[in-house]
Amino acid sequence: MRNTLLVTGGAGFIGSNFVLQQMLDESWFIINLDKLTYAGNLHNLEGIAADRYQFIHGDIGDRALARQLLEKHQPGAIVHFAAESHVDRSIRGPEDFIRTNVDGTFALLEETRAYWSALLDDRRNRFRFLHVSTDEVYGSLGPQDPPFSEITPYAPNSPYAASKAASDHLVRAYHHTYGLPTLTTNCSNNYGRFQFPEKLIPLMILNARDGKALPVYGDGKNVRDWLYVEDHCEAIATVLRRGRPGETYNIGGWNEKPNIEIVQTICDLVDEKLPQAGRSRRELITFVKDRPGHDRRYAMDARKIERELGWKPKATFETGIRKTVSWYLENEAWVRDVTSGSYRQWVATHYSG
Ligand code: NAD
Ligand code: DAU
């Protein structure tokens, strides 16, 4: 029987990087279930080997579809990325976040439980459900606090973080109650190719390129722990292969930086690649009204995954951000494609005034 992996949300930023990376392992057949919201983009997956990959357009909340996919393709594992992922959107309209992140994960867990319960012993023991989550479930750190570890109590502050926390709790309960072999990864901020330009790094690269204002929330001193997306994908693959069912693993880049420093670095790299005589992109930095409930600092203690599974990040921020800036400047067609219609509407509404 072929080795089938069901990926949800595989047309999004991290999911598509993960699918492309895992396709290098020729033993996988990958099914990608994605609703193609504004954040899902099939162009990310162009050129993929069609004989070992199938795209299914659908919603994780559609239980009949999930049931049919599981029965037909008999996956040995599920990696669950599908989610509404942007904090600012969750503040403006939380409903979709509850529908997909909470109800959708619940629906997927229920159908997975039914499928897994009926597997024969060997396949049932080897099956894994890997849930991809975030550091935001732990809330916000003060400047001197130690980083979040796997035993830090949950304290989500945005509707997005609360919806992810709820999904993490459901996954935990399905292991504890039903024995479903789950794995949960909680990761810090990712950056790299294919990230939708509503998020800090691609937004700043494109605005800097176009000579537009660079909107920094509050005082710009909020801290995030940045991880290059390919490192995150490798961490997920490592947990999938070697993680212990029922465990959670924190993933991070050991790379805390205040937002203003990130934006200044991007300005300098765009200046280097597209010089403008006598002018620096730093002049475009504009401090704007803060995000409501804006978490001050995130930092991940990623020692467990290193100690138990041998994963640690490979990319440095200096190499990763350079590659990322070059990618956005060199992939105009991709950028043009995603920054039409609904994207323009979001930017106009969110940054007006
Ligand atoms: P993204 O917004 O770029 O992509 C989400 C994908 O899910 C899209 O392809 C979208 O079409 C799909 N999707 C949304 N609702 C769906 C539904 N109901 N059914 C099926 N597909 C649906 O997100 P991302 O940044 O790639 O994040 C992926 C996962 O990783 C999320 O669960 C997120 O919480 C988590 N995460 C993200 C980061 C980060 O920095 N981006 C960090 C840690 C964890
Ligand atoms: O920490 C992991 C999380 O990282 C993921 O779970 C989320 O899915 C992902 O979106 C990301 O959340 P953040 O809110 O940290 O990412 P974002 O890129 O939206 O913002 C990063 C920081 O930059 C944050 O402190 C807010 C700030 N910011 C963001 C935007 C879009 C600005 O100052 N200006 C902006 O225009």
The predicted-structure confidence for 286-309, as pLDDT tens digits, reads as follows: 999 999 999 999 999 999 999 999
Note the helical H segments in 224-316.
229-242, 259-273, 303-309
Look at ligand 1, atom 25, and give the residue with the nearest C-alpha. Answer: 13
The DSSP bridge partners found for residue 343 are none
Among 60, 80, 99, 98, residue whose Cα is nearest residue 180:
80
Q: Quick check: is 285 in a domain?
A: no
Residue 143 lies in a domain: yes
Q: What is the pLDDT of residue 100?
A: 98
CA of 212 to the centre of ligand 2 (A): 19
pLDDT score of 1 more than 80: no
The one catalytic residue among 136, 230, 234, 256: 136
Residue 206 counted as domain residue: no
Ligand 1 atom with the smallest distance to the CA of 190 is: 40
Q: DSSP labels for 138-164? A: G----TTSPPB-TTSPP---SHHHHHH
* Interval between CA 295 and ligand 2 midpoint (Å): 10
Q: Is 11 a domain residue? A: yes
With beta carbons less than 8 A apart as the criterion, state whether 134 and 161 touch: yes
104 lines ligand 1 (CB under 6 A): yes
Domain extent, residue 7, equals: 3-191+228-253+297-313
- Cβ–ligand 1 distance for 202 under 6 Å, the answer no
Ligand number nearest CA of 206 is 2
Active site residue 136: yes
Q: Note the pTM of the prediction, 2 decimals.
A: 0.98
- Structural domain contains residue 352: no
- Give catalytic status of residue 225 as yes or no: no
What tens digit of pLDDT does each residue of 26-50 get? Answer: 899 999 999 999 999 999 999 998 8
290 catalytic, yes or no? no
Asked whether residue 327 is assigned to any structural domain, the reply reads: no
How far does residue 37's CA lie from ligand 1's centre (Å)? 10
Max intra-chain CA distance, the chain: 69
Tokens 């994960």 map to which residue? 105
Other C-beta atoms closer than 10 Å to the C-beta of 173 total 13
Q: Is residue 164 situated within a structural domain?
A: yes
Tell me the pairing of strands 248-251 and 182-187: parallel
pLDDT per position as a tens digit, 225-262: 999 999 999 999 999 999 999 999 999 999 999 999 99
Q: Identify the CA nearest to 189 among candidates 129, 251, 139.
A: 251
Number of structural domains in the chain: 1
CA of 273 relative to ligand 1 center, distance in Å = 30
Reported as type and span, the H/E element at residue 69 is: helix 63-73
For strands 128-134 and 182-187, give the pairing. parallel
Task: Give the CA-trace dihedral at 66, 89, 17, 256, to 10 degrees.
Answer: -130
Residue 319: CB atoms within 10 Å: 11
Residue 4: phi and psi, rounded to 5, are -100, 135
- Hey, whose CA ends up nearest to atom 5 of ligand 1? 12
**Mean pLDDT, rounded, of the chain:** 97
Q: Is residue 334 part of a domain?
A: no
Residue 215, helix vs strand vs coil:
strand
- Length, in residues, of the chain: 353
What confidence tens digit (pLDDT) does each residue in 331-350 have? 999 999 999 888 888 889 99
Query: Of the listed 160, 191, 298, 328, which one is catalytic?
Result: 160
CATH of the domain at 86: 3.40.50.720
- The closest alpha carbon to 352, from 289, 259, 294, 285, belongs to 289
Distance 300 CA to ligand 1 centre (A): 20
Q: What is the DSSP string of 127-140?
A: -EEEEEEEGGGG--
- How many percent of the chain have pLDDT more than 90? 95
